[in-house]
Structure 1
Amino acid sequence: MNVEITRLSSGLTVVTETMPHLESVALGVWIKSGSRNETEDEHGIAHLLEHMAFKGTARRSARDIAEEIENVGGELNAATSTETTSYYARVLKDHVPLAVDILADILTESEFDEEELRREKHVILQEIGAANDTPDDIIFDRFSEAAYRGQTIGRPILGTPETVKGFTPAQIRNYLSRNYTTDRMFVVAAGAVDHGAFCKQVEERFARLPRTPSTTPVLETARYIGGDVREDRDLMDAQLLIGFEGKAYHMRDFYCSQILANILGGGMSSRLFQEVREHRGLCYSVYAFHWGFSDTGIFGIHAATGGDDLPNLVPVVIDELRKASETIDQQEIDRARAQIRAQLLMGQESPAARAGQIARQMMLYGRPIPNPEMMERLAGITTERLTDLAGRLFFDTVPTLSAVGPIEQLAPLADITTALSSPGFQTKKAAG
């Protein structure tokens, strides 16, 4: 890796990876703060702030921001997640100073004009409505709310119509001053970038960022609870999500969980895809995933199927979970490792993907992780570790179930929980 790291006197960390064969640069600012850092009365404000950052500063109107970056053929965007927020751009190498200037402008001099705020609230209300009308989106929100009931980490990132309507510029500034500080921010660039010149540009333009928060940042410790949330809708298909408490980023079994998710439902060769879709034809979409957070995680299986297939689908899925706790082939591990390695290497061919990867690693581990080190961690995963992990994940924790659509024939959660602790139950139900 041709990665350089500099910590500026302001406390801001700058990281670059030079790709001299490229003509473009992907750059951005990543903040170790997201929807999880909101207080009780701030639900949705992290996402609103991300929107408002583009709505005008002391030097630029919203239209100026859009036109200046697009006048040079560049792109500008942002994203909010549970634990992070990012603002990023992609430009040709000659226009890096402009991109740095715009990013610094929106992060240090946004005005949060009342009229712009009113309009953007309306936009977000439409976004919330669109999400509620999209079953394969809303099912994940419902799942998180059940898994972490009554906690900030379980709330939808977008907020609610009631909370969004009530936000004021003062509330936005308060969240900003508490979370957007140099000790929580990383400026990253990948592509045709010169590290020294980039550091100088960042140091000059981001000098106004506060070094420490105005008050102590909010971060409630996660408590996985589990539960059942269902919404019967008149839809063509049923969306089903079954999950368990996974592993946090820093836990020993994190990478093991990633491999297990890949083996169970990471592609067309995975167990769930082959058994549920190809062999039995019970659904058109099925996959497994593992999300890691700073202090918890989620291991889930998502399927989309017809309501009439639910009585057969669930037992077959549970049977595959049980099989994973009994036996896993070395060939499956090798295939999963090969897929992860390919994803890592392919990501390095994209400056945008590489900048995001570096930023995430800096926030999680405090340093970029070289690919050989990543593969070395994966190399230590054995069949015994995977089967042991599967047993603990699927049969020693309370499940969470979320379902939307024609779900009248979906078994009660109590029956599914029983199936997870009763050998042989799944096969009988599938056969019946």
Structure 2
Amino acid sequence: MIRIIIALIFIFNIAFAGGNKVIKHILPNGATILYKQTKGKGIISGVLFIKGGSIEDPEGKKGLTHILMRMLLKESKNHSGFEINKVFEDSGGGISSSTAEEFSTIEFSVKVEDFKKGMKVLKDILYNPTFPEDKLKQEIENTIAQIKAKKEEGFSYAFEKLREEVYKGSPYQYSPLGKIEDLKTITKKDLKNRLKQLLNGHRIVFSIVGDMPYEKAEKYIKNVLKDLDNKDYQFPKYSLEIKGEKTKEFKREGAQSTILVAYNAPRAKEKYYFAMKVLNAILGNGFTSRLFQQLREKRGLAYAVGTVYPTRINIGNLIAYISSAPQKTEDSLNGIREVFKSVKNGISKEEINIAKEKIIGHYLLDLQTREKQAYYIGWFETIGFGYKMYKDYINNIQKVSEKDILEAYKKYIPKGNIAVVIKP
């Protein structure tokens, strides 16, 4: 135990090289700048968070935000797609975009000496995208191919079926990739209208970590953000709760069964969020977890088994998964539910300590890069915890007690679960 703690402290010191100080600056238009200076090899990384993901896609246009974020990097008034990528890649970094349910991002890394050039390109792709028709058609075709490919992979197919069951009646029931029939209707005009919605200062959190004083970087950052609209924005609110025990079975070709089971769980910022993080690790994180030990080691039911607990502003869920031989499908599903029920009988101190070590260790390893530091600083701010949580996260995990975990369990898990079973 002592060796592990010493190792974690060592990693902690590496992760926060350059100090913990984060400068927070809110511009008159509502845009938030978060800046952390580091010391190193002259790299600067940033993540532009945009509050607004796929759940805001209108009916008939599911996948619009995903297509928009992809198209922003394809061409702008002053730069071809090749030139956009070349500016960052020639500087030893890169640029990419992504869309989740609740927010979207543009992420980049460059050398310090190329930061000014990188910010000029970023501004151009935000305010002057051209959305060429040929590239739009190609991106839609690529996304449709992605959706079809997911149907061929057991876990992805099962997850999409679970999404439809758990989030039925809300925008969360759709993948950020969208719906095939909707993607085919997306036009250049749709992209322009959606971008206009997103270019609002109150939606923007720009998080940057790098080897450059803020005083030198500030004018370039502000130049990117200064033309944003100034309109009030609040995340849409949705609330769904699983009640009772339900199972839905689907057939697909394959050599194994895939089972996913969703339980209620806290949303971000709710009281038992950190306790559920620890419970998630106890139940399904790695070889020492209860699901692995009980269902794979002792009963030989699983090829793969574990849990995931996505952090959401709306609608929290803890999801267990297992892949097994078709003849073991029923035992595998029953096994997951039995292991979850076993928590009511108590949790050992050893389970709690191991779970915390895993969570903290993974988190600190993540933070060794500027890209990940920038991501976590901005992510915590975007989802409502505030940027300081990137430092306080470890302490919040360490503070979780057995009492907290059992209270979290009693509040959420017994209310019900929804299982999706994919069988050959």
Q: For residue 236 of structure 2, what is the aligned residue in structure 1?
A: 219
Q: For residue 362 of structure 1, what is the aligned residue in structure 2?
A: 381
Q: Assess if the C-alpha contact under 8 Å between 1:27 and 1:188 holds in 2.
A: yes
**What is the deviation of 1:228?**
4.3
Q: Assess if the C-alpha contact under 8 Å between 2:144 and 2:180 holds in 1.
A: yes
Asked if 1:403 is matched to 2:424, the reply is no
**What is the deviation of 1:400?**
1.4
Q: For residue 71 of structure 2, what is the aligned residue in structure 1?
A: 52
**What is the deviation of 1:207?**
2.8
Q: For residue 14 of structure 2, what is the aligned residue in structure 1?
A: none
Letter of the structure 2 residue corresponding to residue 222 of structure 1: S
In structure 1, C-alpha distance between the alignment counterparts of 2:166 and 2:66, rounded to whole Å: 22
Q: Assess if the C-alpha contact under 8 Å between 2:87 and 2:118 holds in 1.
A: no
Asked if 1:78 is matched to 2:97, the reply is yes
1:116 to 135, 144, 150: 135
In structure 2, C-alpha distance between the alignment counterparts of 1:372 and 1:72, rounded to whole Å: 29
Letter of the structure 2 residue corresponding to residue 83 of structure 1: E
**What is the deviation of 1:223?**
2.2
In structure 2, C-alpha distance between the alignment counterparts of 1:49 and 1:127, rounded to whole Å: 16
Letter of the structure 2 residue corresponding to residue 405 of structure 1: K
Q: Assess if the C-alpha contact under 8 Å between 1:148 and 1:225 holds in 2.
A: no
Q: Assess if the C-alpha contact under 8 Å between 1:148 and 1:222 holds in 2.
A: no
2:358 to 339, 342, 361: 339
Asked if 1:66 is matched to 2:85, the reply is yes
Letter of the structure 2 residue corresponding to residue 256 of structure 1: A
In structure 2, C-alpha distance between the alignment counterparts of 1:337 and 1:387, rounded to whole Å: 15
Q: Assess if the C-alpha contact under 8 Å between 2:238 and 2:315 holds in 1.
A: no
Identical columns (%): 19
Instruction: Give the aligned length.
Output: 403
Letter of the structure 1 residue corresponding to residue 330 of structure 2: P
Asked if 1:284 is matched to 2:303, the reply is yes
Deviations 1:2-22 (A, max 9, x none): 211112233221112222124
Q: Assess if the C-alpha contact under 8 Å between 1:258 and 1:289 holds in 2.
A: no
Residues 336 and 198 from structure 1, CA distance in 2 versus in 1: closer, same or farther, beyond 3 angstroms? same
**What is the deviation of 1:80?**
0.8
In structure 2, C-alpha distance between the alignment counterparts of 1:371 and 1:86, rounded to whole Å: 18
Q: Which residues of structure 2 form unaligned runs of 5+?
A: 1-19
SS in 1 for 2:276: helix
Deviations 1:215-274 (A, max 9, x none): x77825232357544321120111110011211101101111111000001111111111
**What is the deviation of 1:155?**
1.0
Deviations 1:299-338 (A, max 9, x none): 1101111111112222222221111121101221122222
**What is the deviation of 1:115?**
2.5
Q: Assess if the C-alpha contact under 8 Å between 2:49 and 2:205 holds in 1.
A: yes
Q: For residue 174 of structure 1, what is the aligned residue in structure 2?
A: 193
Q: For residue 212 of structure 2, what is the aligned residue in structure 1?
A: 193
Q: Assess if the C-alpha contact under 8 Å between 2:242 and 2:263 holds in 1.
A: no
**What is the deviation of 1:293?**
1.4
In structure 2, C-alpha distance between the alignment counterparts of 1:391 and 1:367, rounded to whole Å: 28
Asked if 1:129 is matched to 2:145, the reply is no
> RMSD between aligned alpha carbons?
2.0
Q: For residue 419 of structure 1, what is the aligned residue in structure 2?
A: none
In structure 2, C-alpha distance between the alignment counterparts of 1:311 and 1:116, rounded to whole Å: 47
Query: Counterparts of 1:21-420 in structure 2 under 5 Å?
Result: 21-212=40-231, 219=236, 221-225=238-242, 228-365=247-384, 367-370=386-389, 373-397=392-416, 399-406=417-424
Q: For residue 420 of structure 1, what is the aligned residue in structure 2?
A: none
Q: Which has the higher contact order (CA 8 A, sep 6+)?
A: 2
In structure 2, C-alpha distance between the alignment counterparts of 1:255 and 1:324, rounded to whole Å: 17
TM-score by length of 1: 0.88
Deviations 1:141-169 (A, max 9, x none): 21111101121012111111110010111
Q: For residue 423 of structure 1, what is the aligned residue in structure 2?
A: none
Residues 9 and 389 from structure 1, CA distance in 2 versus in 1: closer, same or farther, beyond 3 angstroms? closer
Letter of the structure 2 residue corresponding to residue 69 of structure 1: F
Q: For residue 416 of structure 1, what is the aligned residue in structure 2?
A: none
